[in-house]
Structure 1
Amino acid sequence: MQRYLIALFFTTIICFSRGQNIVLQDTITNKPEDSIPGYAGLYDISDGIKDIGRFIRRDTSQKVSERRSGISILPNINYNPSIGFQIGAKIVGGVYLGERENTAMSTFATALSYTTRGIIYGYFAHDAYTKRNKWNLKGGLVIAKMVALDYGMGMGNTITTEIPEEQVLNNPDRTRYINQYTVYGLNERLYKRLLPGMFVGAGVFIELKRNINTVGDHEITPLTVYSDLTGYHAGRYNNNGLMFNWQYMTRDNPNSAYKGIYADVVLRMSQTWMASAQNAYQLQTDFRKYWQLSEYRPNHVLAFWHWGSYNIGGTLAYLDLPGTGRDVYSRSGRGYTNGYFKGSSFFYSELEYRFPILRNQFLSGVVFANVQTADDRLGTKLFERWEPAAGTGLRILFNKATRTNLCIDYAVGRFGQKGLFLGLNEAF
């Protein structure tokens, strides 16, 4: 399957690379693409399809409308080691609800997909900013049948205990288990702007997990061991509660930022009075910084990302423990499968260098490296043990109106973990 994806990628490059000669003065003078009428000088997949159509018709007299849609309707094709190969339908879009000079782009996405690991996933997500960024409403709805790879808790430490349950839970041999479950999720957050770029808000989350089981004939599994130790039902539970939020945002685009900062701090409080299985308190932090490195090539960028989740009270259920790929869009930890490392508290950081390849931004590249750490129930503390990964990738400009890129990455971690990661929009 990876060979087919690579062949498809290079076929696409050959078809569309002719557009690299279409570079107008507006791009050279470094005007932001959103301020250029018709996004002159930029070239995306839509342009390539139109050029191929003209070539087939042999008719160059027809003019293409300068008005570009902020909505992309496309096959929802994805691949990574966690989900296998994914196919489905996806709609992503961006719109300004106020003047572009003082209002951030509002984005939305909805999709229905199926993967070769048996995952059926449907969602709707939104991140909307009203005029002059006075209010920000973000959240989403998820209904899914999930299949999740599981490698236990902690960082794969070698342990000396002879207790079978502790051996299974911390899994130093990195034995792979497969958990199945159905999830119904809803979360909404409302932010009010206090100062330019700064917001405070509150929200609610509802997560119902049902039909939880581990595939195969196992006497005990990390899921059952942890559930017995913490008093959770191993087959079904609710995780419902409230959120309080602080956000600071100056980045210029949510899909592929060239400059600015995004910071989000969330206190999640699972509450039994809202039908949650147990009370639990988790502090989540998300920080992203972008440095534009070139006056003439705006997509020449150095980007930094930190994501963390810290337990400050109570105990989460096993499937809700923070870990690799457990951020909102499951993009952290390229080089490992989702949930490969996890604990009650988790810390992740990544540095990515983004560079242009074609002058019209149709094709660009990235190199990246990341580290992560988690605690466990045997005494390993957060920041005590680190696991790295690194990789490189290519970007194809899918929609220049929203800076939507098709991302193809290959990353390598430890314990034999590696793989191809295909997705839409930057990881962060």
Structure 2
Amino acid sequence: MKTKFNTKFIALLITILFVTNAVRCQENKSVKNISILPVPVIGYSPETKTYLGAVTLFTFNNANDTLTRTSNAKIEFNYTWNKQLILESDWNYFFPKEAWFTRGVIHYSKYPDLYYGIGNNTSESGEINFQSNRLIFDLDLLKNIKNKLFFGLGIDYKSFSNFEYLNDGESYPELKNANNFGIKVLLLKDRRNNILSPTKGNYFEFNNSFNFSSSFYFKTAIDYRNYFGLGKTNKHILASRFYHSSIFGNPPFYDYAMMGGDKYVRGYYLGRFRDKNFSSIQLEYRTNLFWKIGLATFGGVSMIYEKISSIGNKSFKPNAGIGLRFLVDKNENTNLRIDYAIGSQNQSGFYISFGESF
């Protein structure tokens, strides 16, 4: 445990040093349409041994187009001493005057993962450490119908192959080669003032997907977020999020509704609990302390369950955490986010990322 903490702390120091340098270079120049923030990553875990990588954030806009919010893209690369690999790129891009909006993810990895089975009461003793080759391609294209109300379609392809068990333990028949192709129908209203670090406005998304794998299944999700400035200067921000997803049919193990991770419920390993339904309410308070340093506290409660009639005490999963914010791009109000969160059943998580969780 001590080794993990030390390597994370070292990685954190290196990250801050490099980002600080990137900010200084940017501040000494005139404002440009494109900002590039590279961050190196170094760390250690028992599954991967030493790993090295880099994350680069690109933000870009047209200074002459005041109707269009700033777009962003991220490229991530990780490589381990065990010859494991992660390559990922994701983006959020507004066309001029926000007439159209596109977002997506391209991901390839050969990397270890943990699996505990399906349900809200799975045991730590049933943990399986496995490795697989994963390919993900997710693309959405939406048209601005009126006043930042977007409607559009998307496609989603996932493939998991070449499974390899990295420890002895329980056998799960669902851990096998699988792939799926999905067609999405999306409706969203996005009135946030900033995509990466919103301080006011709201966001609503209704996402439905028709998926084809070994059998057909349907997914639906609702995502609603609000941002409020407290006080006259809006130095204090209160953010809230309600999220719900449901699965109808029998998806591959990787496409169940999952809680945890950096984006949904910090404090739980992503996929620690998965089932047909997932609901979550999260609150976060953010404020600037001094200079470029900010503070955030957050928490919430989530439910993971097969069906409404099966909801019980084990369905509810609380989480809480605290984090630091380091302003890396003053023009776009972009933060480097450093969070630590805890959940129930001895779950916890440490996160470093650009922008807010929601």
Smaller-chain TM-score bracket: 0.7 to 0.9
Q: How does 1:156-195 map to 2 (within 5 A)?
A: 156=121, 171-172=122-123, 175-195=126-146
Question: Of the candidates 5, 17, 20, which is equivalent to residue 45 of structure 1?
Answer: 20
Give the structure 2 partner of residue 394 of structure 1.
Answer: 324
Distance 1:101 1:372, change over 3 A: same
Q: How does 1:17-416 map to 2 (within 5 A)?
A: 45-46=20-21, 49=24, 64-68=28-32, 69-76=34-41, 87-97=52-62, 99-114=64-79, 120-156=85-121, 171-172=122-123, 175-218=126-169, 220-221=170-171, 223-224=172-173, 227=174, 234-271=175-212, 276-296=213-233, 298-311=234-247, 313-325=248-260, 330-358=262-290, 360=291, 362-376=292-306, 380-381=310-311, 385-416=315-346
Please say if residues 371 and 388 of structure 1, whose CA atoms lie closer than 8 Å, have aligned partners that are also in contact.
yes
Please say if residues 98 and 130 of structure 1, whose CA atoms lie closer than 8 Å, have aligned partners that are also in contact.
no
What letter matches 2:259 in structure 1?
A: T
Where does the alignment leave 5 or more consecutive residues of structure 2 unmatched? Answer: none
User: For 2:42 and 2:11, how far apart are their aligned partners in 1?
Assistant: 12
Please say if residues 260 and 267 of structure 2, whose CA atoms lie closer than 8 Å, have aligned partners that are also in contact.
no
Larger radius of gyration: 1
Distance 1:8 1:211, change over 3 A: closer
What letter matches 1:145 in structure 2?
A: K
Deviation (angstroms), 1:174: 5.2
Q: How many residues align?
A: 354
User: For 1:243 and 1:335, how far apart are their aligned partners in 2?
Assistant: 29
What letter matches 1:350 in structure 2?
A: Q
User: For 1:64 and 1:98, how far apart are their aligned partners in 2?
Assistant: 18
Distance 1:322 1:177, change over 3 A: same
Please say if residues 129 and 135 of structure 1, whose CA atoms lie closer than 8 Å, have aligned partners that are also in contact.
yes
The alignment partner of 2:97 has SS state of helix
Q: Please identify which structure carries the higher strand content.
A: 2
Deviation (angstroms), 1:90: 2.0
Please say if residues 78 and 422 of structure 1, whose CA atoms lie closer than 8 Å, have aligned partners that are also in contact.
no
Higher relative contact order (CA 8 A, sep 6+): 1
Distance 1:173 1:74, change over 3 A: closer
Please say if residues 228 and 238 of structure 2, whose CA atoms lie closer than 8 Å, have aligned partners that are also in contact.
yes
User: For 1:81 and 1:103, how far apart are their aligned partners in 2?
Assistant: 45
Where does the alignment leave 5 or more consecutive residues of structure 1 unmatched? Answer: 17-43, 52-62, 157-170, 228-233
Please say if residues 154 and 183 of structure 2, whose CA atoms lie closer than 8 Å, have aligned partners that are also in contact.
yes
User: For 1:78 and 1:400, how far apart are their aligned partners in 2?
Assistant: 28
The alignment partner of 2:126 has SS state of coil
What letter matches 2:155 in structure 1?
A: V
Deviation (angstroms), 1:335: 1.2
Please say if residues 154 and 185 of structure 2, whose CA atoms lie closer than 8 Å, have aligned partners that are also in contact.
yes
Deviation (angstroms), 1:188: 1.1
The alignment partner of 1:255 has SS state of coil
Distance 1:178 1:9, change over 3 A: closer
Distance 1:144 1:280, change over 3 A: same
User: For 2:46 and 2:332, how far apart are their aligned partners in 1?
Assistant: 28
User: For 1:386 and 1:75, how far apart are their aligned partners in 2?
Assistant: 37
Please say if residues 136 and 159 of structure 2, whose CA atoms lie closer than 8 Å, have aligned partners that are also in contact.
yes
Deviation (angstroms), 1:241: 1.8
Identity %: 23
Distance 1:387 1:118, change over 3 A: farther
Give the structure 2 partner of residue 28 of structure 1.
Answer: none
User: For 1:48 and 1:204, how far apart are their aligned partners in 2?
Assistant: 36
User: For 1:79 and 1:262, how far apart are their aligned partners in 2?
Assistant: 37
RMSD: 3.3
Deviation (angstroms), 1:193: 0.9
Question: What are the superposed Cα offsets for residues 3-25 of structure 1, whole Å, 9 maximum, x if unpaired?
Answer: 45447767998x99xxxxxxxxx
Please say if residues 252 and 258 of structure 1, whose CA atoms lie closer than 8 Å, have aligned partners that are also in contact.
yes
Q: TM-score, normalised by structure 2?
A: 0.87
What letter matches 1:290 in structure 2?
A: Y
Compare 346-355 and 87-96 and name the one that shifted more: 87-96
What letter matches 1:104 in structure 2?
A: R
User: For 1:134 and 1:108, how far apart are their aligned partners in 2?
Assistant: 19
Distance 1:422 1:286, change over 3 A: same
Distance 1:83 1:103, change over 3 A: farther
Question: What are the superposed Cα offsets for residues 28-62 of structure 1, whole Å, 9 maximum, x if unpaired?
Answer: xxxxxxxxxxxxxxxx82487569xxxxxxxxxxx
Give the structure 2 partner of residue 231 of structure 1.
Answer: none
User: For 1:172 and 1:395, how far apart are their aligned partners in 2?
Assistant: 34
Deviation (angstroms), 1:316: 0.8
Give the structure 1 partner of residue 351 of structure 2.
Answer: 421
